[in-house]
Amino acid sequence: MKYKNILWDWNGTILNDTPVAFKATNILLERFGYPTITLEYYRDNIDTPIVNFYSKIFDLNKHDMQMLDDEWGVLYNQLSNKIELHTGVEEMLSTFADNNLNQIILSAFKTNEISKYARKFSIEHYFEDILGTQNIVMESKTVRGRRYMQEHGFAPEQTLYIGDTLHDYDTASDLGVDCILFSGGQQSPRLLQQCGVPVYDNFVDIENQLAG
């Protein structure tokens, strides 16, 4: 395998939380009197930063963005018992560990929340570090990833980013590293295929491709 370092996105990539995120969004829409959306619409329109998505489904002149995001977070936590890992991802983490690859989580999710779920699913030992957000002043994934790569001597040509969104592709491009996208997460295959990088719908195929 040409790579020594794997940067992992978390939500939608390792963690299969799209069904919960989608349900929380529809509950919030109903709460404020808006029409609900389909999962297809959600996966075709979810965006980073999230305000880009909310502006399509809420009237942000009437509702404070931070309030909506906070209420969504409460709903997400209430539904969190339904969250699982994606099929095949734990086996892939184990294979990478057996090959002595450095595995780092690079995510816009809160570090303590990632740690909580990683412990819950007993996968925390696979990761060298978790580069999530620490506080409300959120550095971009690119800033955190670039600093970490420089501090730990990660050569871009030996580093792969695995994600599930256009934003993950943009982050990988900014870092100068290769990217593989998983189409079973937050965004639809139709969106991901615009990036011109490999897109896979399962982790078995990703692992086979990298091994080959």
Q: How far is CA 157 from CA 10, 146, 154, 163, in A?
A: 22, 13, 9, 17
Q: In this predicted structure, what is the pLDDT of residue 48?
A: 86
Mark whether 48 and 70 lie in a shared domain: yes
Q: What is the pTM of this model?
A: 0.95
Mark whether 133 and 198 lie in a shared domain: yes
Give me 80's structure tokens: 């969190």
Mark whether 124 and 197 lie in a shared domain: yes
pLDDT 10s digits, 32-82: 999 999 999 999 999 988 999 999 999 999 999 999 999 999 999 999 999
Residue 135: pLDDT above 90?
A: no
- Please give the Cα distance from 41 to 5 (Å, whole number): 34
Which of 37, 65, 82 is the last residue in one of the domains?
82
Which of 28, 60, 82 is the last residue in one of the domains?
82
Identify the band that residue 139 occupies on the pLDDT scale cut at 50, 70 and 90.
confident
Give me 1's structure tokens: 């395998």
Which of 82, 115, 131 is the last residue in one of the domains?
82
Q: DSSP secondary-structure letter at 176?
A: T
Number of structural domains in the chain: 2
Residues spanned by the domain of 37 = 18-82
Mark whether 57 and 145 lie in a shared domain: no
Q: In this predicted structure, what is the pLDDT of residue 136?
A: 46
Mark whether 67 and 171 lie in a shared domain: no
Residue appearing with tokens 């990683």: 118
Q: How far is CA 166 from CA 81, 116, 117, 153, 179, in A?
A: 27, 26, 24, 26, 11
Mark whether 49 and 96 lie in a shared domain: no
Mark whether 157 and 188 lie in a shared domain: yes
Question: Strand pairing of 199-200 and 159-163?
Answer: unpaired
Mark whether 51 and 97 lie in a shared domain: no
Question: CA torsion angle for 19, 32, 71, 139 (degrees, to 10)?
Answer: 80
